[in-house]
Amino acid sequence: MIRQLSILFYFLIGSLTPSISIALVIGSDQEEIYIDANFSGEELLVFGAFYSDPSQSRDSKSDILIEVVGPLEDVALRKKDSYFGFWLNSKSVTFRDVPGFYYLSSTSKLTNEFLANNQIGLLEKKKSEMIDRSSLTTDWGSVMNEKEKKEFYSALIRTKQNDSLYKQVSDEIEIIDGNLFRSYIDIPNTVPVGEYNVNLHLIIDNEVSQEYSYTFVVTRVGIEEAIYSFSKNYPFFYGLISLIIAIIIGWSGAEIFKRFRKV
Amino acid sequence: MSIYLPIAELSVNIFLLLSLGGVVGFLSGMFGLGGGFLMTPLLIFIGIPTNVAVATSANQIVASSISGTLGHWRQGLVDFKMGGVLLIGAFFGSILGVWIFSKLVANGQIDTVISILYFTLLTGIGLSMLIESSKVIRDRIRRKSVKQKIHYHNWAHRLPFKVRFYKSKLYISVIPPIIIGFVIGILSATMGIGGAFILIPAMIYFLGMPTSKVIGTSLFQIIFITALVTILHATTTFAVDAVLAFFLILSSVIGAQVGVLAANKLRGEEIRALLAIIVLGVATKIALDLLVEPNEIFNLSVIRLVF
């Protein structure tokens, strides 16, 4: 794995509240995640410091929130129903512009009201009413009633969570010495390629005091990229080459073993 | 150690892939079968998407059937004319098959259809192998020898467009072999199999071909069907994974050769009974997946990345 260790630092000082003087310094260990032949997932490190008076420890009222939003994709969600004892796909809903990856963590547990007020979060905010579907365009197909729509929406979140592509936690940000924080974010091997946004929020007294965003990209490199783009751009020749490889290995395998047997 | 598969878009353990290819290759070498009927469901079990499993499996069978054909060809046991006639049907069958396949992928029913097809197929193969091998074992214990009928005359000999197949010593209509080829073409394209276990009995019982020429001829035409299916899948479903295929081919070709060696040393019936049990085990697993209420009744598939 080619790991780029160009450490980025962003200094964000300013708009300090008069009572509490805190700023945010953040960094990340890589701008790109490369999918090559050995790719089996990655850990993304996001770290930084609450930049306050070093003699004082972090104010207990301030919190850090890290949000990672992956590239958008369209997904089809299908529900299985039992027909004569067989579990077959039946109803289908298409969700458009859904993040292929979503991660949200904070230093302390944030209330749903806070997330809703600041328009943060994609995950189900409340069990019943407050489901925010506004950001998603959806083709509901034959799904008509509200109850079933909610069922589909929570299934979307759940299936993404089961694939480790969506996560919302409140205990993954480590605080060191009261002033430094760091978080390792699991990027599973099934992540989509594309641009990812990392949004950091400094929260003081339940209000977002500062925000900072940066992007990193997940790209295929080397032979993975070559094979993938070749298969999309020249499918006929890709098929032909796959065949030629099969013919060569099949043929030579038989020849080699034939000689081997004669000896 | 794991390897990232560029088309399946996930990483799998390389030793798992190699041993899967090796075992399927070993079994196919030992029994003279293509092994696609085990390869595809096993790939699906380890988490490879159904469309990639089917398309890549077809590519792998090209390699294993070439290995197998060479030996039969040298001994003059391939009826190229019959193979060619079968291929005419197979050509149209596999085009229809890939079309059906892409429609099923689009409406989300592919997994179910593949499961049902495989369950039916594996149960059929497993049971017939089990019955056949247990009969042989029983007869051996009773020291009986079984006489087999050599030639069949049936409706296939009464249809028009008769052609002489010198190698197989047949004078039959081309309609039955074309129909057989057509059906095998559909199955090959939708299931990622060569179809030898359907083709071989069909050639013996429907066409009345001599048993000695059947295996070589079926292998010969399977090369071309699966080659065509590979190209069709690469251009329409984009599901052929070259990296996955490479490791499966490498390990299955070696496995197949070891299987051939082992077949000469071991007694066939017991191993055939064992294979029958493996096949029935896979069929049972597929049936349970269809019948038992799943933990998650929703499933998600990405249609398109938005750029």
B72: number of Cβ within 10 Å: 20
A229 pLDDT higher than 70 = yes
Instruction: Quote the pLDDT of residue A24.
Output: 66
Instruction: Quote the pLDDT of residue A1.
Output: 36
b/e per residue B294-307 (b: at least 16 CB within 10 A): eeebbbbbeeeeee
Which of A141 and B248 is assigned the larger pLDDT?
B248
Instruction: Quote the pLDDT of residue A127.
Output: 37
Rounded Cα distance between B121 and B99, Å, is 21
Number of cross-chain residue pairs from A and B with Cβ atoms under 8 Å apart: 195
A73 pLDDT higher than 90 = no
- Look up residue B34 and give its two tokens: 């293509």
Rounded Cα distance between A47 and A27, Å, is 5
Residue A32: which residues within 8 A CB-CB, separation 6 or more? A4, A216, A217, A218, A219
A6 pLDDT higher than 50 = no
- Shortest CA gap B222–chain A (Å): 13
- Calculate mean pLDDT across residues A22-37: 73
- Look up residue B238 and give its two tokens: 């984009």
Judged by a CB distance cut-off of 8 A, whether residue A92 touches chain B is yes
Instruction: Quote the pLDDT of residue A59.
Output: 55
DSSP per-residue letters across A8-34: EEEEE-----SS---EEEEEES-SEEE
Instruction: Quote the pLDDT of residue A128.
Output: 35
Of A73, A72, A79, nearest to A141 (Cα)? A79
- Shortest CA gap B100–chain A (Å): 17
Q: Cβ distance A20 to A58 under 8 Å?
A: no
Of A44-58, A191-205, B161-175, the least confident: A44-58
Instruction: Quote the pLDDT of residue A60.
Output: 57
DSSP, collapsed to helix, strand or coil, labels residue A252 as helix
Residue B206's alpha-carbon distances to B175, B194, B219, in angstroms, are 11, 19, 18
ipTM above 0.85, yes or no: no
Residue B22: which residues within 8 A CB-CB, separation 6 or more? B251, B252, B254, B255
- Tokens 């990229």 locate to A225
Backbone angles phi, psi at B243, to 5 degrees: -70, -45
Judged by a CB distance cut-off of 8 A, whether residue A155 touches chain B is yes
Of A140, A137, A139, A190, nearest to A162 (Cα)? A190
Rounded Cα distance between A178 and A175, Å, is 6
Binary contact (A89, B299; C-beta < 8 A): yes
A129 pLDDT higher than 60 = no
Instruction: Quote the pLDDT of residue A11.
Output: 43
pLDDT tens column, A82-99 = 888 888 888 888 888 888
Rounded Cα distance between A132 and A152, Å, is 13
- Calculate mean pLDDT across residues A181-205: 85
Residues of B with CB below 8 A from A239's CB? 230-235, 240
Question: To 10 degrees, the CA torsion angle through A185, A190, A193, A199?
Answer: -20
- Tokens 């074992």 locate to B137
Instruction: Quote the pLDDT of residue B18.
Output: 95
Domain boundaries, chain B: 2-291
The topology under which CATH files domain A8-220 is Immunoglobulin-like (2.60.40)
Instruction: Quote the pLDDT of residue A80.
Output: 86
Residue type, B305: L
> Block means of pLDDT (10 residues each) for chain B, length 307 residues?
86 92 86 80 90 92 85 81 91 94 85 88 86 80 57 62 78 85 92 85 81 83 91 91 94 86 73 82 89 82 63
Band of residue A13 on the pLDDT scale cut at 50, 70, 90: very low
- Shortest CA gap A96–chain B (Å): 9
Instruction: Quote the pLDDT of residue B181.
Output: 92
Residues of A with CB below 8 A from B94's CB? none
- Calculate mean pLDDT across residues A103-127: 70
Of A93, A80, A104, nearest to A185 (Cα)? A104
b/e per residue A239-257 (b: at least 16 CB within 10 A): bbbbbebbbebbbebbeeb
| A163 phi-psi bin (left φ>0, alpha ψ -120 to 50, beta other) | alpha
A234 pLDDT higher than 60 = yes
Of A53, A47, A54, nearest to A26 (Cα)? A47
For A:120-139, CB contacts with B below 8 A are: none
